[in-house]
Structure 1
Amino acid sequence: MKVLVIGANGQVARHTLAKLKEEGHQVVAMIRESAQANEVRNLGADDTVVADLESSFDHAFKEVDAVIFAAGSGGHTGADKTILIDLWGAIKAVDIAERLGVKRFIMLSSMGTVDPDKSERIKHYLVAKKLADDHLIRSSLTYTIVRPGSLTNDAAQKYIKLEEEIQVRDATITREDVAIVLAKVVNLENTFGKTFEILNGKAPIEESLRQL
């Protein structure tokens, strides 16, 4: 399957490029600057497309079968960028996929999005993610929404805890483990139309996904 990764230079997305290749997919990395092309190719991208979520990016969807939205404004930006990237950029991506007939869409979201009112520190971020997720759910796309908890840069453990909403959040999850999940759900039909949260845990990733 030809998979477009939006936000391909992001921390989770960089791992995802390699994991998609391991799953046998053809990978197209959407990047903001052509200077990033060589690096993302070295990470596993077969092709690159330069596009900006704050502008028009319809051309990035040409001849792709699936989309992974892994873009994020980052913790160093303000609420304005959160709205433009995490909310508006995601909504536009969903709408473009629908319009151009790209049926499969995987959204990298965030734990805590079920009820943003429970958070004060990143409430604006969770509201943006929830609205984007809800827009995807209302669309005609075959979606999967993955909501990881707090992220670390440790090596993949390959074991997770997966629930629709995790009540006891006493763990973190590695970015590499999130990437493994994103790559595996692309073709995993029992994850279609599902939204779930993940942390590192005790169950093998593929076993957890197949038990959804």
Structure 2
Amino acid sequence: MKVLIIGAHGKIGHLLIGELQSRNIEFVAGLRSQEQIKAYNENNIETQFIDLTASLDDIKNSIEESGADIIVFSAGAGGASDALTIEIDLDGAIKTMMVAEAIGIKRYIMVSSVFSDNRNKWDASGIRPYMTAKHYADDHLRGTSLDYTIIHPGTLTNEDGTGKIKLLGPNENDTIPRVDVAKALALIIQNSSTIGKEYTFASGDQPEEDIFS
């Protein structure tokens, strides 16, 4: 097992690195700049350059070079612009799915968002382009041949994790520390029974191990 974290420099991706290290799971950090790669290499973290705005062939070469057999997609434009959000969160995500299918990587785990499938909530979110991108990326993933899992965490915070969550309904939201999202991803990576499932969740009182096992 070797996990490629696409978006490893993001907050959740960075926390996932720590989770995988604590579990002795082999991984490679997918990064979009040489400065990031240099910094991670200095900390003895294996890296792979991946530019989600690049051509399909370039992305294919990058993912093949990583040697991974599991992809976690946690990349995003971070609100830089609506155009870049569509290019990275939607088109970039779909290109990695196309590559995974083409080269035989079956396992694909998507970090999505709460309300990505609830259009009635998009305008109120204030980030409609992001919600749109997530919705259609998720929908594309469901139609692939990949062994996917999609997570829809609630409103993200930087608070200390509790390791306990609750499942949410389609019209519900609550907060969750990013570190608990990273833990969820690590548990999902280790558990094949999560394949083909989607989870919407926030902080609660149920141990994550009970839900993702």
Paired with 1:166 and 1:43, the residues of 2 have a C-alpha distance of 40
**Could you tell me which amino acid in structure 1 is paired with residue 103 of structure 2?**
L
TM-score by length of 1: 0.91
Structure 2 Cα separation of the partners of residues 17 and 101 of structure 1:
24
Q: Distance between the aligned counterparts of 2:130 and 2:108, measured in 1?
A: 21
Instruction: Look up the match of 2:36.
Output: 36
Give 1:50's aligned residue. 49
TM-score (norm: length of structure 2):
0.91
User: Partners of 2:145 and 2:153 in 1: how far apart?
Assistant: 24
Alpha-carbon offset, residue 57 of structure 1: 1.6
Superposed CA offset, 1:2-47 (max 9, x none): 00000110011000111122232111011111221254357783x1
Unaligned stretches of 5+ residues in structure 1: none
Q: Which runs of 5+ in 2 are unaligned?
A: none
Runs of 4+ in 1 over 4 A off after TM superposition: 41-44
* Comparing 19-28 and 194-203, the one that deviates more: 19-28
Contact preservation (8 Å) 1:14, 1:40: no
CA RMSD of aligned residues (A): 1.6
Q: CA deviation at 1:185?
A: 0.3
Distance across 2 between alignment mates of 1:34 and 1:147: 30
Q: Does 1:162 align with 2:161?
A: no
Aligned residues: 206
Greater displacement, 20-29 / 32-41: 32-41
Partner of residue 13, structure 2:
13
1:46-195 map, 5 Å: 47-55=46-54, 56-62=58-64, 63-75=67-79, 77-120=80-123, 121-163=126-168, 165-169=169-173, 171-195=174-198
CA deviations 1:156-207 (Å, max 9, x no partner) are 11111124x35432x3011111011111101312210001111011101111
- 1:148/1:198 contact within 8 Å kept: yes
Matched, 1:208 2:207: no
Identity %: 37
Contact persistence 1:111–1:147 (CA under 8 A): yes
In 2: Cα distance, 1:147 partner to 1:32 partner: 24
C-alpha separation between the residues in 1 aligned to 2:118 and 2:209?
27
SS in 1 for 2:4: strand
